[in-house]
Amino acid sequence: MITYTSTDHFVLLPGLLLALFGCAVLLLDFLFPKDVKGRGWLVGIALSGVGFASWQSWQQYLYLKAHSMTPLVAFNGALVLDGFALFFNGIVLASAALVMLISYRYLEDEKEHHTEYYALVLFAACGAFFLNGGLDMVTIFVGLELMAVSFYILVGFLRTDKRSNEAAMKYLLLGGFSTGFLIYGFSIFYGLTGSTNLAALATVIPARGANDPLLYLAIVTTLVGLLFKIGAAPFHMWAPDTYEGAPTTVTAFLAVASKTASFALLLRVMLVGLGTAREMWEPLLTGAAVLTLTIGNLAAISQSNVKRLLAYSSIGHAGYVLLGLIAGNQTGLIGVSIYLLTYAFSTIGAFLVLIALRRRGVAVETIEDLASLGKRYPYYALLMLLFLMSLAGLPPTAGFIGKYYIFLSLVESGKYGLAIVGALYVAVSLYYYFRLVRSMFLTESIEAQVLAPSNGVRLVLALTGIATIAMGILPEPFLRMAAISLGR
């Protein structure tokens, strides 16, 4: 007997809307003419899908708030609606909307404008929702694959571009391999509990006792899969190649939505499922975090390609977020949420400047291409400076708040060593971010004509710029949003 209650419907609806609008975009493709205007309508439909999903998520928030943030469990415990899922769904929705706004002109310029792109963005966002809210390992796995497969295709979207193909191939092969590890870990968890639910896992672990080899094996293999998804060392090798080869709009979406949802999943598995086995996974994650910070920040120094540099810096950021999870107190979790929120806007902004600066026929690729940007296009240069300052974590920008909370949590929990390591790498990151700044403001360059950016790009640049400044100067409302993720 199939049961589908009103609670199930209410919890599922935003994700369902995304999937339905994705199907609508695919189906209505035939109705609209294959020209710029016809595609514009389909982008409108895709964006309205995100709009409806956001509206429904807002309804969910109001409901939770009226019921003192009590989590709402649906589908026999497969999916949960709580502040945590809502917060991360919000980041995914925002990044999907921003990416769709900037993709229109970009794909037009690349001569690969197909409406499937928007459907895939919607499907990827839909998959991310099940990572944010999934409690059942089967649901989580299918959601993860839905997101990953959409991204494999999006990364290879520039079909005539060799590097895009190479990036997609590498991402697909390594992604499939890491998924194998994840599902192996999940299968051992299932063997231990006889249930695919994360909550059931939490009840079994205390009985198994600390340092049980089988549990340890399951934790290690699960972590391999999850660390791959968040792009943390030593499973980061795909990130630079994939970020560089993918269409820049997809790079921004991958760096934000995929990473955020995977972090949500990591947090959920570690804190809900394995919360009582903390002494088993904390050393592993600490090692991974330090390694991630080291590799991400040191490798970024020697990069000459801007997208590669941002890819390595994004690896470094994953290390900081892991530190928040390792600190393990309330401040640390607020730090993780606020860090991912600020990182989302700054990262999309930084990639967006690269898209806006696209020249006739060639994209901005190397640091030299940014030379004397301050003279040529002062507004873009200033915005880039703002986003880079935020990524480096300098006040008064958004990134400062995120880093502040991460370090505060480390100090509060007495992990001074990690705090010092983290602070040292902030200094290193200043060096490579300011290599870009130096190139923009202090070097002379060749004259090059930039294509006029579309209104969508202008709008998103303004939005991300304002958000980056606003979070830095007035962090209060954003901290309150992050507190929602803790169910407050």
Residues lying near another protein in the complex (CB under 8 A): 1-4, 12, 19, 22-23, 26, 75-76, 78-79, 111, 114, 116, 119-120, 123, 126-127, 130, 136, 138-139, 141-143, 145-146, 149-150, 152-153, 156-157, 159-160, 191-194, 204, 207-208, 212-214, 216-217
Cis peptide before 71 (omega within 30 of 0): no
Q: Shortest approach of another protein to residue 299 CB, angstroms?
A: 19
Cα 51 to Cα 48, 63, 307, distances in angstroms: 5, 18, 30
Q: Shortest approach of another protein to residue 186 CB, angstroms?
A: 12
Residue closer to another protein (CB basis): 26 or 486: 26
Residue closer to another protein (CB basis): 208 or 278: 208
Indicate the burial class of 30 (C-beta count within 10 angstroms; 0-12, 13-18, 19 or more).
Answer: exposed
Residue closer to another protein (CB basis): 196 or 297: 196
Residue closer to another protein (CB basis): 207 or 362: 207
Residue closer to another protein (CB basis): 218 or 323: 218
Q: Shortest approach of another protein to residue 249 CB, angstroms?
A: 16
Q: Shortest approach of another protein to residue 80 CB, angstroms?
A: 12
Q: Shortest approach of another protein to residue 103 CB, angstroms?
A: 15
Residue closer to another protein (CB basis): 215 or 482: 215
Residue closer to another protein (CB basis): 104 or 123: 123
Specify which residues 197 forms β-bridges with.
Answer: 136
Q: Shortest approach of another protein to residue 173 CB, angstroms?
A: 13
Q: Shortest approach of another protein to residue 487 CB, angstroms?
A: 23
Q: Shortest approach of another protein to residue 147 CB, angstroms?
A: 10
251-271 core/surface letters (b: 16 or more CB in 10 A; e: else): bbbbbbbbbbbbbbbbbbbbb
Q: Shortest approach of another protein to residue 227 CB, angstroms?
A: 15
Contact 353, 473 (CB under 8 A): no
Residue closer to another protein (CB basis): 31 or 207: 207
Residue closer to another protein (CB basis): 136 or 369: 136
Contact 347, 314 (CB under 8 A): yes
Q: Shortest approach of another protein to residue 83 CB, angstroms?
A: 21
Cα 80 to Cα 131, 225, 476, distances in angstroms: 10, 22, 27
Residue closer to another protein (CB basis): 192 or 461: 192
